[in-house]
């Protein structure tokens, strides 16, 4: 007789869950029993919340799974879970707390719970001492906010959450404050919360008393240097192809080393896929969205002066302050004397400190403030008692500072530094010449006459500016070239130029006449009559009445006036295309050289390529030492092997005439194991000096007796 089985649905929740989802009305009675059981279990649990209750975990997940089937009966269910977490979040057992959070996330995914209620609860739960829970909640918060703003920005929700997170940053719990800041930074990088309010909320974290929060906020504003490569990118050559490792693991003998290598490769592939799936981040500095950059810089500097934190934190603070000053043209005059204290060659991270000094310089800083900085760098770095690398770094730092504040350089200091152009060391010589090249285009009057180079059109058009003066033009410089009907032909003469220096020849129909005029003007001083030529040539060329002769300076003024009028006419009277701007750039580049026959170096393109659009100073510009770079390990190995090709084999030389004949026993003994010749090695012990004396005396005594 077959025994009838009783109804097991009340004890088998997964089966009941499956049946309810298929037919909710048929199993309403069983659901009501489970709901009553859940309420009773909650009442019992609240009497002792510290104790784990597996039955409550299972019932909570069951109710969350079938909540969409009975929305009326489970209307108060989400609030019950929220009340349990808010009331007992610190004493709950870790697994139960995680289960309740998973149930709430399930209800949120079914739109049975408002996002603000859940997110505010999760922010409060970040105070719990449960690392796994905090990581889980952080991932959910970021994903949920990202999904809420995927189609359009939910301004009301974002404002509410940002205000709540602003209060969380001031929380006394360091973990909660740090996690809230990480969430905001992650949302900014994913272009979800990339507005000014988010940036200014993060800016308040720079003044947090919690060191981890402060460092995270400073790192956010520093961003990532585009020139610096990740450690993963640096080791890209050392990475192993995952397909090769997997195939080798299948074919070859399985060892622990290969298993570890396979696991490592799989992790690397997973990491690369995760990087590819990340949202594209725009190259836009968050510092540009700060509402009060002057106030932020002053507060950071005041905090720095009284800070006792580690030197690395001070460096990050200095970097943020210097970027704020350079980006927003701020005035913080006490910042430069503070940096001067660190201008010593033996100072740790001195090149970065010099970089911060250059970043904090701009044209509106008074020259009196920057002049002591230049003198300090020159006195401490550019002296012959230092090494050549230190001198080159000092010259490069002075060049970067002078390019931003050219009025701070004095004539005596500029001429003294220019004398290093003939220094014996190449790095110092090249740094000094680059400094001379800078002042040729900015303030040539500071240099000695022999260092100014040959005069050119660009130097003639250069106007001497005073502090605070702005040279605002109502035309595009060089636009007068568009008045010509003939277009310029650009040719790159690669045969006459070396690999390092390429020349661009710009040919006009009147090039030959220009060349003759340039060659005739080279040996004539500016004050002399430039248009004066021989009478015979004048009669042959032109029989018309002579025009009034102009002095050199008068001709320059007249020529400049005509060019300005033509440039104004072109700038106002027509719309310029990309091709027109290209011709203007070429014309401006032509003004940088004197002799057009040699062509034009591509200086303009190189200078534009070197300029950083963010206005920041590259550390490589200061550490730019002209030396032959060291080879990497692989190149050195190849160079060593290349030198060994035609050389005799190093080591023991076999003296046999026939290398195939057998060796002596003495030669074979060298390749044998020690255990095979141990008995022979005992007799080979060297005698002491006294034993040799005794043996010699006995030998001589024996010889006497024989006589």
Summarised one tens digit per residue, pLDDT across range 532-549 is 333 444 444 444 445 555
Q: Is residue 655 part of a domain?
A: no
pLDDT at 459: 63
Q: Is residue 49 part of a domain?
A: yes
Q: Is residue 261 part of a domain?
A: yes
**338-384 pLDDT, tens digit each:** 999 999 999 999 999 999 999 999 989 999 999 999 999 999 999 99
Quick one: pLDDT band at residue 657, thresholds 50, 70, 90? Answer: confident
pLDDT of 488 > 70? The answer is no
pLDDT of 199 > 60? The answer is yes
Whether residue 357 sits in one domain with residue 264: no
Over residues 403-424, the mean pLDDT reads: 92
Whether residue 349 sits in one domain with residue 321: yes
Whether residue 522 sits in one domain with residue 416: no
**Range among 6-10, 108-112, 216-220 with highest mean pLDDT value:** 216-220
Quick one: pLDDT band at residue 615, thresholds 50, 70, 90? Answer: low
Task: Reduce the DSSP state of residue 623 to 3 states and report it.
Answer: coil
Q: Is residue 440 part of a domain?
A: yes
Stretch among 204-218, 403-417, 657-671 having the lowest mean pLDDT:
657-671
Q: Is residue 7 part of a domain?
A: no
More confident residue, 146 or 575: 146
Quick one: pLDDT band at residue 680, thresholds 50, 70, 90? Answer: confident
Whether residue 332 sits in one domain with residue 256: no
Whether residue 100 sits in one domain with residue 149: yes
pLDDT at 360: 93
pLDDT of 608 > 50? The answer is no
pTM: 0.66
Whether residue 416 sits in one domain with residue 514: no
Over residues 626-643, the mean pLDDT reads: 76
H helices of 443-551, in order, are: 457-461, 511-521, 535-541
Whether residue 437 sits in one domain with residue 398: yes
Over residues 210-225, the mean pLDDT reads: 86
Q: Which tokens in the block code for residue 620?
A: 């490589």
pLDDT at 640: 84
Residues facing residue 505 across a β-bridge: 491
pLDDT of 416 > 90? The answer is yes
pLDDT at 242: 65
Whether residue 75 sits in one domain with residue 140: yes
Stretch among 119-123, 340-344, 483-487, 607-611 having the lowest mean pLDDT:
607-611
Q: Is residue 26 part of a domain?
A: yes
- CA distance linking residue 649 with residue 167, whole number of Å: 76
pLDDT of 66 > 70? The answer is yes
pLDDT of 435 > 60? The answer is yes
More confident residue, 404 or 601: 404
**100-128 pLDDT, tens digit each:** 999 999 998 888 888 888 888 888 888 88
Over residues 291-318, the mean pLDDT reads: 92
Over residues 279-291, the mean pLDDT reads: 67
* Residue 115 half-sphere exposure toward CB, CA atoms < 13 A: 17
H helices of 444-541, in order, are: 457-461, 511-521, 535-541
pLDDT at 569: 79
Quick one: pLDDT band at residue 303, thresholds 50, 70, 90? Answer: very high
More confident residue, 486 or 297: 297
Closest CA to 283 of 604, 615, 623: 615
**Range among 119-123, 215-219, 475-479 with highest mean pLDDT value:** 215-219
Closest CA to 543 of 531, 535, 555, 532: 535
pLDDT at 504: 38
Looking up residue 150, the CATH number of its domain turns out to be: 1.25.10
pLDDT at 696: 93
Work out the percent of the chain whose per-residue pLDDT is above 90: 24
Q: Which tokens in the block code for residue 297?
A: 């810089």
Residue numbers of the domain that contains 301: 288-453
Over residues 168-181, the mean pLDDT reads: 85
Over residues 667-690, the mean pLDDT reads: 79
pLDDT of 609 > 50? The answer is no
Stretch among 136-150, 549-563, 669-683 having the lowest mean pLDDT:
549-563
Q: Are 439 and 414 in contact, with CB atoms under 8 Å apart?
A: yes
Q: Are 216 and 185 in contact, with CB atoms under 8 Å apart?
A: yes
Whether residue 263 sits in one domain with residue 129: no
Task: Reduce the DSSP state of residue 485 to 3 states and report it.
Answer: coil
Stretch among 222-236, 498-512, 579-593 having the lowest mean pLDDT:
498-512
Q: Is residue 539 part of a domain?
A: no
pLDDT at 534: 39
- Decide which of 622, 639, 660 is a domain's last residue: 622
Average pLDDT, rounded, for the chain:
77
Whether residue 56 sits in one domain with residue 158: yes
Over residues 279-303, the mean pLDDT reads: 80
The answer for 651, left when phi > 0, alpha when psi is -120 to 50, beta otherwise, is left
**Range among 70-79, 153-162, 515-524, 536-545 with highest mean pLDDT value:** 70-79
Stretch among 12-26, 581-595, 648-662, 689-703 having the lowest mean pLDDT:
581-595
Task: Reduce the DSSP state of residue 349 to 3 states and report it.
Answer: coil
pLDDT of 593 > 50? The answer is yes
Whether residue 432 sits in one domain with residue 295: yes
CB contact burial 34-60 (16+ within 10 A = b; e otherwise):
bbeebeebbeebeeebeeebeebbbbb
More confident residue, 428 or 508: 428
Over residues 659-666, the mean pLDDT reads: 83
- CA distance linking residue 352 with residue 359, whole number of Å: 10
pLDDT at 316: 93
Cβ within 8 Å of residue 61, ≥6 positions away = 99, 102, 103, 106
Over residues 384-407, the mean pLDDT reads: 92
pLDDT of 399 > 90? The answer is yes
Q: Is residue 296 part of a domain?
A: yes
Stretch among 142-146, 413-417, 530-534 having the lowest mean pLDDT:
530-534
pLDDT at 317: 94
Q: What is the DSSP letter of 422?
A: G
Whether residue 413 sits in one domain with residue 314: yes
How many structural domains comprise the chain?
Answer: 4
Closest CA to 68 of 20, 110, 16: 110
């Amino acid at each position: 007789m077959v025994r009838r089985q009783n109804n097991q649905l009340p004890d088998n929740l997964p089966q009941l869950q499956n049946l309810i989802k298929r037919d909710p009305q048929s199993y309403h009675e069983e659901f009501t029993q489970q709901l009553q059981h859940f309420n009773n279990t909650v009442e019992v649990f609240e009497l002792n919340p510290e104790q784990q209750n597996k039955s409550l975990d299972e019932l909570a997940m069951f109710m969350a799974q079938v909540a969409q089937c009975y929305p009326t009966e489970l209307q108060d269910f989400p609030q019950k879970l929220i009340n349990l977490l808010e009331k007992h979040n610190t004493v709950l057992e870790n697994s139960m707390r995680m289960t309740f959070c998973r149930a709430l996330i399930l209800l949120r995914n079914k739109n049975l719970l408002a996002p603000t209620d859940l997110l505010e609860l999760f922010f409060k739960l970040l105070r719990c001492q449960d690392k796994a829970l905090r990581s889980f909640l952080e991932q959910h918060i970021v994903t949920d906010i990202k999904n809420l703003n995927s189609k359009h920005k939910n301004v009301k929700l974002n404002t509410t959450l940002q205000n709540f997170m602003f209060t969380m940053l001031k929380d006394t719990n360091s973990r909660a404050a740090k996690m809230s800041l990480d969430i905001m930074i992650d949302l900014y990088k994913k272009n979800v919360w990339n507005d000014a309010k988010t940036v200014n909320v993060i800016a308040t974290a720079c003044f947090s008393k919690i060191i981890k929060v402060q460092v995270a906020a400073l790192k956010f504003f520093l961003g990532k240097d585009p020139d610096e490569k990740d450690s993963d990118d640096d080791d890209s050559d050392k990475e192993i192809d995952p397909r090769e490792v997997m195939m080798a693991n299948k074919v070859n003998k399985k060892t622990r080393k290969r298993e570890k290598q396979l696991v490592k490769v799989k992790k690397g592939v997973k990491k690369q896929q995760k990087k590819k799936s990340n949202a594209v981040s725009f190259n836009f500095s968050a510092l540009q969205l700060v509402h009060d950059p002057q106030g932020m810089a002053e507060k950071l500097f005041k905090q720095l002066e009284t800070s006792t934190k580690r030197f690395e934190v001070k460096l990050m603070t200095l970097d943020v302050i210097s970027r704020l000053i350079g980006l927003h043209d701020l005035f913080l005059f006490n910042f430069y004397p503070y940096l001067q204290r660190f201008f010593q060659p033996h100072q740790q991270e001195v090149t970065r400190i010099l970089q911060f000094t250059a970043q904090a310089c701009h044209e509106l800083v008074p020259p009196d403030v920057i002049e002591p900085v230049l003198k300090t760098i020159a006195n401490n770095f550019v002296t012959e008692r230092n090494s050549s690398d230190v001198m080159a770094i000092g010259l490069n730092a002075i060049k970067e500072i002078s390019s931003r504040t050219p009025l701070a350089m004095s004539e005596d200091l500029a001429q003294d530094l220019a004398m290093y152009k003939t220094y014996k060391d190449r790095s110092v010589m090249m740094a000094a010449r680059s400094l001379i090249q800078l002042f040729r285009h900015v303030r040539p009057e500071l240099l000695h006459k022999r260092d100014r180079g040959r005069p050119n059109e660009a130097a003639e058009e250069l106007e001497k500016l005073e502090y605070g003066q702005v040279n605002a033009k109502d035309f595009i410089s060089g636009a007068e070239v568009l008045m010509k009907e003939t277009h310029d032909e650009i040719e790159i003469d690669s045969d006459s130029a070396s690999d390092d220096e390429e020349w661009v020849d710009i040919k006009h129909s009147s090039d030959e006449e220009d060349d003759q005029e340039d060659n005739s003007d080279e040996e004539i001083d500016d004050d002399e009559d430039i248009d004066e030529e021989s009478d015979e040539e004048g009669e042959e060329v032109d029989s018309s009445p002579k025009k009034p002769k102009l002095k050199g300076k008068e001709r320059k003024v007249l020529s400049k006036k005509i060019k300005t009028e033509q440039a104004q006419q072109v700038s106002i009277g027509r719309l310029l295309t990309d091709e027109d701007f290209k011709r203007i750039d070429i014309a401006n580049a032509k003004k940088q050289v004197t002799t057009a026959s040699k062509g034009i170096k591509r200086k303009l393109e190189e200078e534009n390529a070197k300029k950083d659009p963010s206005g920041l100073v590259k550390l490589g510009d200061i550490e730019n030492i002209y030396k032959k770079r060291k080879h990497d390990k692989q190149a050195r190995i190849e160079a060593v092997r290349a030198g060994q090709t035609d050389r005799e084999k190093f080591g023991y030389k076999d003296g046999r005439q026939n290398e195939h004949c057998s060796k002596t026993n003495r030669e074979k003994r060298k390749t044998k194991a020690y255990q095979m010749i141990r008995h022979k090695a005992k007799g080979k012990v060297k005698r002491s000096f006294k034993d040799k004396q005794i043996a010699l005396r006995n030998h001589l005594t024996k010889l006497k007796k024989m006589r």
